[in-house]
Amino acid sequence: MSETLVVKCPICKALVEHGSKTFPFCSNRCKTRDLGNWASGIYAIPDTPTDSWHHDHKV
C-alpha cells in the first residue's frame, strides 16, 4: 500500500502532493497570493485601542 499525501491548495484548490517545493500551495504564484492575502488582511484591520493589552504584556 503506497499512498501519497495529497492536499488541496488553499488558494485555487488544486491538488498538491506532499513534498512539493511549494507545499501546501500548488505553485509559487499561489504561495505569493496567500502572503498577499495576509498582508492585506493585516492592513485592513482598523486601528483598535490595544494599549491596555500591551501594558498587561509588559516584560
Phi, psi of 6 (to 5 degrees): -125, 135
Q: 29 or 39, CB closer to Zn ion?
A: 29
Q: 39 or 57, CB closer to Zn ion?
A: 39
Pick from 6, 12, 15, 39: which binds Zn ion (CB under 5 A)?
12
Q: Does 26 bind Zn ion (CB under 5 A)?
A: yes
Q: Does 9 bind Zn ion (CB under 5 A)?
A: yes
Number of C-beta neighbours around residue 12 at 10 A: 13
- Compute CA 44 distance to the chain's CA centroid, rounded to the nearest angstrom: 16
Give the position of cell 494599549. Answer: 51
Q: Does 31 bind Zn ion (CB under 5 A)?
A: no
